[in-house]
Copies of this chain bind each other. A is one copy, B any other.
């Protein structure tokens, strides 16, 4: 079972992103490096506001939004809806995943595959509904936070 749940590796992420951008022939400008390094250091989901605020005035707001969009398109960043309904971003890896976000520390587990969605898909199929896509976010407490008291 360990192959379907993966914790996003902190050290890896930034380097993998940079390697990917390089291999696509994208320019590794100062602002881009600043943003990627900052994101790589985040251990929990962050808001667009937090990102722009953290890098101001070194990096312009417009640039932040443009770079974030690009990373999202490429699958390095996921926009995750919180239980409260607002958006946050988390480092992720290209491919189809779902996210299990720790409510306390923000640690994000990637859940690969959608076996459970398949069950629901089958249920709905019996009602004539053909599932073609879905959005799933999970929230809870990671192992570390359960171990920590308070």
Contacts and interface: CB of A to CB of B under 8 A. Distances in A.
Interface of A: 1-2, 4-5, 79, 81, 83, 85, 98, 100, 102-103, 109, 111, 115-117, 119-121, 123-124, 126-144, 146
B129 A100 contact: yes
A9 to B, nearest CB: 15
A125 to B, nearest CB: 9
A139 B128 contact: no
A132 B100 CA distance: 10
Nearest to A124: B100
Report the 9 A-B pairs with minimum CB-CB distance, sorted nearest first: A128-B143, A131-B140, A132-B140, A116-B116, A116-B119, A133-B139, A135-B137, A116-B120, A5-B127
A134 to B, nearest CB: 5
A62 to B, nearest CB: 20
A132 to B, nearest CB: 4
B119 A103 contact: no
Contacts of A124: 5, 100, 109, 111, 138, 140
Nearest to A4: B123
Contact of A138 (B111, B120, B126, B142): B120
Contact of A137 (B79, B134, B144): B134
